[in-house]
Amino acid sequence: MGGVGKTTLTKKLYNDTHVKTHFESCAWISISQEYGVRDLLQNIINCYMVLSEEDLKKVEKMDVIQLQHKISVYLREKRYLMVLDDIWTNQKWDALQDAFPDMNNGSRVVLTTRNKDLALHADAQSQPHELGFLNEEES
């Protein structure tokens, strides 16, 4: 459900000093339903990498597979944190996940979603953290 605090909680964790020092590279992408996969991958590149004008032009000409590969190569040797905020569909996750290498080095991809099935699809080994409503005293 929207408005229960998924993004707010994730932002608190993302901006925590201990979290920032644990990861070499951190990026936050807010996803809307209208974003295309290619646009999302280009945004991820822009969050992680500082590119020259020439390299930016090359990135603009890349297809989805090339963009995934560029991100994966860049992140392979790093401990990274990637937050994909408000992801809606399994298909979008499936198209993005190959960009994030799992090198067993403590890197993490965090998804916020209203869709529990998507969370389970993304990682069947982990139980999603579901936020419930706060009562008046808690809020």
Statement: the pTM of the whole predicted model exceeds 0.85 = no
Quick check: is 136 in a domain?
Answer: no
Quick check: is 80 in a domain?
Answer: yes
pLDDT at 1 over 60: no
Quick check: is 132 in a domain?
Answer: no
Quick check: is 24 in a domain?
Answer: yes
Quick check: is 55 in a domain?
Answer: yes
Kindly give, in sequence order, each residue whose CB lies less than 8 Å from that of residue 55, ignoring residues fewer than 6 positions away.
Answer: none
> Between the CA of residue 22 and those of 49, 70, 82, 132, what are the distances in Å?
19, 23, 13, 29
Q: What is the DSSP string of 61-107?
A: H--HHHHHHHHHHHHTTS-EEEEEET---HHHHHHHGGGS---SSS-
Residue 122: predicted pLDDT: 81
Quick check: is 138 in a domain?
Answer: no
* Total of domains in the chain: 1
Confidence of residue 136 (pLDDT cuts 50, 70, 90): confident
The candidate with the shortest Cα–Cα distance to 81, out of 39, 32, 131, 28, is 28
Quick check: is 137 in a domain?
Answer: no
Residue 2: predicted pLDDT: 62
**Are the CB atoms for 86 and 112 separated by under 8 Å?**
yes
Question: Domain with 24 in it: what CATH number?
Answer: 3.40.50.300
Name the β-bridge partners of 109: 82
Quick check: is 25 in a domain?
Answer: yes
Residue-range definition of the domain harbouring residue 66: 6-122
